[in-house]
Amino acid sequence: MAVHFVLLPDSLILDWAGPAEALRVANQLRMAQGQAPVFELHFVGPSAETRSSVGACISALEPLPELSLSSEPASIDCHWVVVVGQPGRTVGLDHAEGRAVLHWLRGLRLAPGRLELVCVCAGSVIAAHAGLLGGHRVTTHHQHLDELRAADPACEVVQNRVFVLDSPVCTSAGVTTGIDLFLHRIAQRCGPALAAQVAQTLVMGLRRGPQDPELSPFLNHRDHLHPALHRVQDAVSQEPQRDWSVPRMAEVAHTSPRHLGRLFAEHAGVAPLDYVRQLRLAVAETALQAGLNVTQAAEVAGFSSDTQLRRTWHDLGRAGAPSQWVRGAAASQVG
């Protein structure tokens, strides 16, 4: 998929460099695992060279692309257009570059899964001026909330949010929250285990917007920076079917079983085997929703039997029974 970072003069460098690094790391991790990279990064703008918010010049920018989805090569299944903020109390677009970007944005035809808009910080204000946010729930940096409302009264401005998702539009509150948003999108595209590894590589705790669904169990208990603990959690998430005892996890962490228990309690807030149970249950739920029966889901997730799956299901407070979560039945079990 292609990701187009639209750079105007004085674009806030962390708004786009942070998310771009997250995508680069995601590609790097996939290649290290023998998989193909997913994200094709492009830095585009109305001029071939521009200055950033900190004064550094960015050169060799690509021209604003002609995004005609019907003529795209088969390798490009989706485009993300990323619009970022600028320094200052208000967004100024009354210049040649600003007018060129607004004209280009107005020509986009957004479509979920094909052409999506991602706004970081005051990039939401730019998109609003282009008429792309009407009818959508959106957010922006707290200093620009009123400006965003004035730019497009037809959008619903949500405050006090890290990011807001309203497909095909995603918006974040600004600066470092752009990385939060891209970690979430990486999880959607490549799986939560990879997103957790990206966050670990960036030395960044995972978080979410208050209105978002509860974090996947793959991401729960990972808002810490302890490398040995992350190493164990990576191993468990990649192979939940293994016979994960505390001594075996301690071997991965290169520590004693007792010390591993202390690390889990201090940094993850959960006991080692409880973490394994939560992860296995998440795998089982996914398998059930994909159409596997209870016995098959138990085997895929690493439970010793379907009885153990059912016991864990009830111990962890899931509603109904596992058999009711088989694809087609899960919709009736919400709540």
- What secondary structure does DSSP assign to 172-223, as a single string? ESSTTHHHHHHHHHHHHHH-HHHHHHHHHHTT------TTSPPPPTTTTT--
pTM confidence score: 0.71
Per DSSP, what are the bridge partners of residue 3? 41, 80
Instruction: Pinpoint the residues of the chain covered by CATH 3.40.50.880.
Output: 2-194
For the domain spanning 217-326, the CATH number is 1.10.10.60
What is the pLDDT at residue 195? 87
Residue (of 65, 27, 69) closest to 43 by Cα position: 65
Band the pLDDT of 69: cuts 50, 70, 90.
Answer: low
Report CA 148 to chain centroid distance, whole Å. 24
pLDDT band at 82 (very low <50, low <70, confident <90, very high): very high
pLDDT digits (tens, 9 = 90+) for 155-200: 999 987 889 999 999 999 887 889 999 998 998 899 877 888 898 8
Per cent of the chain over pLDDT 70 is 90
Tell me the average pLDDT of the chain: 88
Q: Give domain 2-194's CATH number out of 3.30.470.20, 3.40.190.10, 3.20.140.10, 3.40.50.880.
A: 3.40.50.880
Residues of the chain with CATH 1.10.10.60: 217-326
Q: Can you tell me the mean pLDDT for 89-103?
A: 95
Lowest mean pLDDT among 10-19, 110-119, 266-275, 314-323: 314-323
Annotate 162-183 with b (16+ C-beta within 10 A) or e (fewer).
bbbbbebbbbbbbbbbbbbbbb
Residue 230's pLDDT is what?
87
Condensed to tens digits (0 to 9), the pLDDT of residues 203-233 reads 776 555 444 444 456 777 877 778 899 899 9
Rounded to an integer, the average pLDDT of 268-295 is 90
